[in-house]
Structure 1
Amino acid sequence: MLEDLEHHLEADPAPEAGTGGVPWTPPAGLGPLPAELAPRAQALVAALNAAAARTAAARDGIAAHLAAVRSVPLAEDGGSSVYLDVAG
């Protein structure tokens, strides 16, 4: 089961929103995690948390860019703005 999670993480470490990724659910009846697999599972959890943090940071950056674009007023005639003051 760890192989499946590792493979998915390696194949797409930060999937794009809306790509239809299927959440992983553990199979029933696995029992407790063997002690020798604990370090590997902890490394996988850390990698998943890092991927989630990168995805959240990307989302926040995109939201900031969208807010900046939305703040640009339209030209008086309803068309697109020709100039954008990026210094002020």
Structure 2
Amino acid sequence: MHNETSTPVNRDVAAWSAVLDDLEQRLGRSAADQHAEVDEWTPPMGIGPIPAQLVDRAHELLSGQRERAHELDVTKNEVTRHLDAVRSVPAMRQASAAVYLDVTG
């Protein structure tokens, strides 16, 4: 009896499918919760090149990762601008002095 799952091609597809599943889950967690901690990813060793039938899936994942990286970069820039604005407010020197913060301009 011949077992289809034992062929090298099927093992490569299964191994790469597991890798892509993991990366897609990591991306999903990051997109769903910007505060989610995602462990550092280590590329698997010894599974060979990605099988042709998974290339489109890998490209979609890469596109999603690039989009998420852009979103994180935009968020980082917004936070930097907010921190710069907060830092630009002079420290109060006298407890009795009034402090006004222009929140519209």
Structure ID, larger Rg: 2
**Identical positions, percent:** 40
- With normalisation by structure 2, the TM-score equals 0.69
SS in 2 for 1:76: coil
Other-structure match for 1:82: 99
Q: Structure 1, residues 42-70: CA drift from partner, whole Å, max 9, x if none?
A: 00011011111111110000000000011
More helix by share: 2
1:15 shift after superposition: 4.4
CA 1:41/1:84 → structure 2, altered by over 3 Å: closer, same or farther?
same
Consecutive unaligned residues of structure 2, counting only runs of 5 or more, are 1-18
Equivalent-residue separation in structure 2 for 1:48 and 1:16 (angstroms) = 16
How many residues get paired?
A: 86
Which residue pairs with 2:30 in the alignment? Answer: 12
Q: TM-score, normalised by structure 1?
A: 0.80
In the alignment, residue 67 of structure 1 is paired with which amino acid? D
Corresponding residue number in structure 1 for 2:69 = 52
How has the CA–CA distance of structure 1 residues 87 and 57 changed in structure 2, closer, same or farther, with 3 Å as cutoff? Answer: closer
Q: Report the residue type matching 1:2 in the other structure.
A: L
